[in-house]
Amino acid sequence: MRFKDALTIGIDIGTSGARAVAVSTSGTVVASARKPLSAAGESGPGGTRRQQDPNAWWEVVCKALRELSHELAEHGAFGLSVAGTSGTIVGIDASGRPTTPGLMYDDARAQEEANELNALAREAGGQAGFSPSSPLAKLRWIEKHLPEEFARTRHFVHQADFVAGRLTGALGESDYSNALKMGYDLEREAWPDWFEKLSTLHSKLPRVMAPGTSMGNVCTALTSDLGLPNKLAVFAGVTDGTAGFLASGATRVGDDNTTLGTTLVFKRLADHRVVDPRGLIYCHKLPGGLWIPGAASNTGGAFVRSDFHGAELSQLDAQAQEALPSEHLAYPLRVQGERFPFAAPEARGFCEPEPADEQVRYAALLQGTAFIERLGYETLDRHTGRATGDVYATGGGSRSDVWMQLRADVSGRIYHRPEFPESAFGSAILARAATSHGDLSLACRRMVHLERSFHPDPARTDLYTEYYDRFLTLLGQRGLLQEPGP
């Protein structure tokens, strides 16, 4: 068996389950398995505390890997990488056993600790911006409120680190994609100097390496149990969002990736780090020196489930085509408060004028989401320069051909839909690039295949721009934009 023909394995651990895929060098998914997780438990005021059993993460990953064993025995595999939810953390002892529950990415128990960290950062001239759900704030909470568990903890690690460490036996290691939210300095590739003021906590932070760095091989005792090849290398991973970006097909500086699910998540490939003083834009780093500035809106496809649950969406899509462009200007926010492309804690959704029937309202909401997407990228443009590439669209909303064409027409840009836009697939790409291709962008180009592309109609783009400008005026009148235009 030739080395280049062997498979790479990608793992993604989400809030509801784990997926494992085995992928060929050309990007063919040879085998795939998904195993469910019980929902995170909620407690505390307003459900601010959300946690899972870390051992359950390990169990579902093992079950998923065992399902790949037949194909792995036939084709062979040489590398594996793990992605996990960004900001989910756990304490482990010197043997790798969990000392705390897994505190989830959206666990927001640590308000007081976040305030303390921001004060320390400002005092030291560092970057503030810690929130109640920030990993470091949650670690401070553990230090103060769970002193016995804190004392037993040798390392605090992220969700992906926990699983990778169990596979290799190399404990207390992380990657700078996951470590970003904990406060890791991506330019210096080091923890900030002021972290030394955190005393004992500082000594329990993980050792950080670049994504794609070898973490060792899967333990011999595990290979037979899980049906894995001997000497299977494990490479440092990335967050689930970054892995999803790798699977999107965006490979050129200026390419964008929108994930349209319940919310809208924006990512752009850039050749420099973006620093946003307002804190609306964050910036990940890829091996090789490229950056991924990005942001997330509370607006997205949530209205599909909340407003049209049980409806035949393909029929609504067909009817929406007849109602577009829409005179009804909608901002389809389904929660209070917006975080991007503008920060407005009191923002609420609207549709003006109110549509008379369901089909017209559906079309207006599709259009409104496309308008927010365009505004989001225009906001990114002000920090990175105007986008020069295409948009690679992922998430459930990107399965709609009507919505995809609408978004292309509204933005005036080409939209692509990849064949396998999964974070586990992105992890497999990272593992391939770590040894075989050696170049992450090259690995993405070779392995990601596009299912369909949507080209804008210039005449419709001009027409939509008239409605878009009116939409911006409405946002300005409501105090959501400082100026009515981008």
Amino acid identity for residue 170 in this structure: A
Torsion of CA 26, 31, 36, 40, to 10 degrees: -30
144-177: b or e for each residue (b if 16 or more CB lie within 10 Å)?
A: eebeebbeebbbbbbbbbbbbbbbbbbbbbbbbb
What's the rounded Cα separation, in Å, for the pair 81 and 369?
34
* Residue 345 pLDDT: 86
Which of these, 80, 238, 48, 247, lies nearest to 159 by C-alpha position? Answer: 238
Q: Is residue 65 classed as helix, strand or coil in its secondary structure?
A: helix
Residue 205 CB contacts under 8 Å (≥ 6 apart), including other chains: 155, 156, 182, 191, 195
* Residue 386 pLDDT: 86
* Residue 4 pLDDT: 60
Residue 426, both tokens: 């992105």
Amino acid identity for residue 94 in this structure: A
Amino acid identity for residue 236 in this structure: A
267 bridge partner residues: 257, 294
What's the rounded Cα separation, in Å, for the pair 97 and 119?
33
Contact 294, 281 (CB under 8 A): yes
Contact 156, 174 (CB under 8 A): no
Which class in CATH covers the domain with range 3-241?
alpha beta
* Fold matches, 3-241 and 249-419+456-477: yes
Residue 244 C-alpha from the chain's centroid? 6
Residue 152, both tokens: 């037993």
* Residue 46 pLDDT: 63
What's the rounded Cα separation, in Å, for the pair 477 and 475?
5
Q: How far apart are the first and last CA of the chain?
A: 56
Torsion of CA 332, 337, 340, 342, to 10 degrees: 100
Task: Convert the pLDDT of each residue in 232-283 to its tens digit.
Answer: 999 999 999 999 999 999 999 999 999 999 889 999 999 999 988 777 899 9
Which of these, 162, 19, 37, 23, lies nearest to 88 by C-alpha position? Answer: 162
Beta strand 415-418 with 391-394: parallel, antiparallel or unpaired? Answer: parallel
Residue 147 CB contacts under 8 Å (≥ 6 apart), including other chains: none
Specify the DSSP class assigned to residue 354: P
3-state helix, strand, coil in the chain (%, to 5): 40, 20, 35
Helices (H), 328-457: 358-384, 401-411, 423-432, 440-447
Residue 348 C-alpha from the chain's centroid? 25
Tell me the mean pLDDT per 10 residues along the chain, length 486.
75 94 97 92 76 97 97 94 96 98 93 95 88 95 98 98 97 97 95 94 98 97 95 96 96 96 94 86 93 94 87 89 95 92 91 92 97 97 91 94 98 98 96 84 96 98 98 96 56
For residue 36, say if its preceding peptide bond is cis, omega within 30 degrees of 0. no
- Determine the CATH number of domain 249-419+456-477: 3.30.420.40
Query: Would you kindly state where each structural domain of the chain is located, as residue ranges?
Result: 3-241, 249-419+456-477
For 210, phi then psi, to 5°, come to -75, 145
Q: Is residue 449 classed as helix, strand or coil in its secondary structure?
A: coil
For 270-421, where are the E strands, in sequence order?
282-285, 291-297, 329-331, 350-352, 391-394, 415-418
